[in-house]
């Protein structure tokens, strides 16, 4: 067979692969992955039924897919919107931080959180990991400054323009302040936690970010990661646990 | 505070080690979708 006959299908399959992989990657680690798994199982069942000549099941699944296109658009409306926004802004050649830089940044953030909790000031700080937090920075004000205790304290001081919202740390820099994070719909979260904790948990469900939350009422520090809230942790413990999470993730990669 | 650039080798090795199963499954799905669409198109003699 002429090799030139094969190049077009190969390119088509490669493009399809790229698109499907990025759709799956986008949903990985979020609540939507269960729905996506269900769709993949239905797709496989559809191909099996079609090839085995099960006409009734094939007909039923064909009709189901026709309706499900609209259903998916409605169910995944926020995710699709965010995904398209991310698609255009993805950095192909990003940067990684050296370990000592990472340690310094984390220690500054944790130290600032400790001071804020002592002063009865609430705070919400998201540290970006693999998943981009750029869609969330769009809802706030771009700062793009070095991480420092003083700057974090200033941002969250009551009365400042950006204190009522989340702070996003991206590529080792304070990228934006006053950002809006998605609230969790989880019913498991105790009533004693307010909107700030719901936002921290919500963002950790949607992305792989580590979200530090300081409670002004209880003067405690917590952090949310992968949809779990680690409550009332000491500054030292928080620093160690966040470093561990980042190291474990790096080793897994 | 400087940011270190990732080397090309790191990027290539990272591509193979980052979510390998997701890559395999998405590749299988891509092949499946391609053959399905080709089958559908051939039904209508495009």
pLDDT in tens, B3-16: 445 677 777 777 77
- Percent composition of chain B: helix, strand, coil (DSSP 3-state, to 5): 75, 5, 20
Judged by a CB distance cut-off of 8 A, whether residue B15 touches chain A is no
DSSP classification of residue A253: -
Is B1's CB within 8 Å of A104's CB?
A: yes
ipTM of the complex: 0.80
pLDDT in tens, A212-231: 999 888 888 999 998 888 88
Domain that holds residue A213: 99-252
Is B6's CB within 8 Å of A98's CB?
A: no
Are A43 and A112 contained in the same domain?
no
Are A116 and A66 contained in the same domain?
no
Of A13, A20, A172, the CB nearest to B3: A172
Question: How many Å lie between the alpha carbon of A121 and the closest alpha carbon of chain B?
Answer: 28
- The β-bridge relationship of strands A166-170 and A210-214 is unpaired
| Gap between the Cα atoms of A80 and A68, Å rounded | 15
Express as a percent the part of chain A with pLDDT over 70. Answer: 84
Find the DSSP H helices in chain A: 3-27, 32-52, 55-75, 77-89, 99-118, 134-137, 149-156, 195-206, 235-252
Are A125 and A44 contained in the same domain?
no
Are A248 and A143 contained in the same domain?
yes
End-of-domain residue from the set A60, A89, A118? A89
User: Domain tally for chain A?
Assistant: 2
Judged by a CB distance cut-off of 8 A, whether residue A98 touches chain B is yes
Return the residue of A nearest to B20 by Cα.
A253
Q: Decide: pTM greater than 0.80.
A: no
Of B2, B6, B19, the CB nearest to A25: B19
pLDDT at A176: 92
A-B Cβ pairs (cutoff 8 Å, strict): 61
Per CB-CB distance under 8 Å, the chain A contacts of B5 are 95
């Amino acid at each position: 067979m002429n090799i030139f006959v094969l190049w077009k299908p190969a390119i088509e399959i490669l493009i399809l692969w790229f698109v499907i992989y990025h759709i799956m990657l986008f949903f990985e680690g979020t609540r939507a992955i269960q729905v996506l798994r269900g769709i993949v199982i239905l797709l496989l069942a559809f191909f099996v039924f079609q090839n085995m000549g099960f006409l009734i099941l094939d007909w039923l699944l064909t009709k189901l897919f026709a309706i499900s296109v609209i259903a998916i658009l409605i169910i995944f409306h926020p995710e699709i919107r965010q995904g398209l926004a991310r698609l255009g802004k993805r950095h192909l050649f990003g940067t990684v931080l050296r370990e000592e830089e990472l340690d310094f940044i984390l220690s500054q953030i944790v130290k600032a959180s400790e001071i804020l909790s002592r002063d009865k000031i609430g705070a919400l700080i998201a540290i970006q990991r693999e998943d981009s937090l750029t869609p969330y920075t769009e809802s706030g004000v771009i700062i793009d400054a070095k991480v420092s205790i003083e700057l974090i304290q200033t941002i969250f001081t009551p009365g400042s323009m950006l204190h009522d919202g989340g702070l996003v740390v991206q590529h080792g820099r304070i990228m934006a302040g006053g950002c809006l994070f998605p609230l969790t719909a989880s019913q498991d979260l105790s009533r004693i936690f307010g909107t700030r904790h719901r936002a921290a948990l919500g963002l950790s469900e949607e992305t792989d970010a580590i979200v530090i939350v300081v409670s002004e009422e209880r003067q405690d520090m917590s952090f949310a990661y992968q949809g779990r809230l680690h409550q009332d942790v000491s500054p030292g413990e928080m620093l160690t646990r966040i470093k561990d999470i980042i190291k474990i993730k790096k080793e897994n990669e | 505070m400087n940011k270190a650039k990732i080397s090309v080798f790191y990027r290539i090795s990272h591509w193979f080690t980052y979510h390998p199963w997701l890559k395999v499954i998405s590749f299988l799905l891509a092949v499946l979708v391609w053959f399905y669409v080709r089958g559908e198109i051939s039904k209508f003699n495009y």
